[in-house]
Each structure stands twice: as structure tokens, then as C-alpha cells.
A = this chain, B = another copy of it.
Amino acid sequence: MKIRPATERDRDAIWNIFREVVAAGDTYALNPNISREDALAYWFAPGAHTYVAELAAKNYHGSSLQRTSSIEGTYILRPNQSGGGLHVANAGFMVSASARGQGIGRAMAEHCLHEARRLGFRAMQFNYVISTNTAAIRLWQDLGFEIVGTLPSAFCHPDKGYVDVYVMYRSLVS
């Protein structure tokens, strides 16, 4: 797996992942019917650093083997606020449904923490971790994030109705 900054040529692959994640409507508070243009404007907003996780793949065309790659994950890293809040990073992660359970989220998160330190951020904050997204919560806790706030019934889950949302935070300085 290679995690690298996204380029213009990754936009189709990112949109495919984004559309799938947002359409499910259970992990992001975004319009499930967001347009491609709005989605990419959000993911490539000014000030955001956008990355992709590229997986090697082998494709057989008849008996000939082609080594190709596919984008199966993407994340953004950006300041969570401006002015006096510029030192705290925010990040968002998306993995294609077909590639889950392979550690892509964890690899991107570790890459992201490294990048955040490299860019000089002093802390990282997730503003909106939906309490039913237990895989994400476990991962963030494993990576040193703590739940520092609970927003009661702040998310309307497509199956479960109103559920709590967590704010998660970790320092990046010792």
C-alpha cells in the first residue's frame, strides 16, 4: 500500500469512494446526494491536504499478467479552525467498501498523524465521530485519541434514529 498526496488524476477514484461512503449516510454528516462538484470542492478545499491510499493489484488479461494499482482510500488533513485555532488539525478518512478490513484506515491514520506533526500541528481533533461507528472509535482510541465531548442525539442515523456523536482529541506534543 502506498499513501501519497492526491493529484488531479485521482479525482474520479476519490469521488467513487466519497459517493459510496456518503450515500450510506451513517458515518458522515454530509448530504448523501451531494454532487461530484461539491464533494471534490470539499475534499480539495483551500488549506486542506488530500492524500490517497493506493493498492497494488494484479489483473490477468487472458494469460497475461498486468500489475496495476487502485485507489481504495483517501483522507484529508487541515487546520480545524483559523486564527488562534490554527495549531489544531482536523482530518477525515474514507475507505472503499470493498477494501475494508485490510488496515487501510489504520495505515492512513498513522500516516496522517505523522504528516500532522511534520506540518507543525500541536493536536488533532475529530469534531464528529458518530457513536455507532464503533470500528472508527476503537481505531482512534487505539491511536491515542480520547472522547472529550458527547453531543447528545446530534446525528440522525438512517437505521437507528437519533444517536450521540463524540468529539475526539489527542495532543501531538509530549
A contact set with B: CB distance below 8 Å: 22, 25-26, 28-32, 34, 80-88, 122-123, 125, 127-128, 130, 148-158, 162, 165, 167, 169, 171
A153–B122 CB distance below 8 A: yes
Task: Let me know if A83 and B127 touch, CB within 8 A.
Answer: no
Please name 14 further chain A to chain B contacts, defined as beta carbons within 8 Å, in addition to the given A30-B82, A81-B154, A167-B167, sorted by A numbering: A25-B83, A25-B84, A29-B86, A30-B81, A32-B83, A80-B154, A84-B158, A85-B156, A85-B165, A87-B156, A88-B154, A122-B162, A125-B151, A149-B151
CB neighbours (8 Å) of A156 from chain B are 84-87
In the assembly, what is the distance between CA of A149 and CA of B130, in Å?
15
Q: Are A155 and B85 in contact (CB under 8 A)?
A: yes
Q: Do B84 and A155 touch across chains, with their CB atoms under 8 A apart?
A: yes
Task: State how many angstroms separate the Cβ of A120 from the closest Cβ of chain B.
Answer: 13
**Could you tell me the distance in whole angstroms from the C-beta of A89 to the nearest C-beta in chain B?**
11
Indicate if the CB atoms of B167 and A151 lie closer than 8 Å. Answer: yes
Copy number in the complex reads 2
Bound form: Cα–Cα A128–B169 in Å: 14
* Chain B residue contacts of A29, Cβ below 8 A: 81-86
Q: How far is the CA of A81 from the CA of B28 in the complex (A)?
A: 9
| Interchain nearest-CB distance for A31 vs B (Å) | 5
A104 to chain B, nearest CB (A): 23
Instruction: Select from chain B the residue with minimum beta-carbon distance to A155.
Output: B84
Question: Which residue of B has the minimal Cβ distance to A166?
Answer: B149
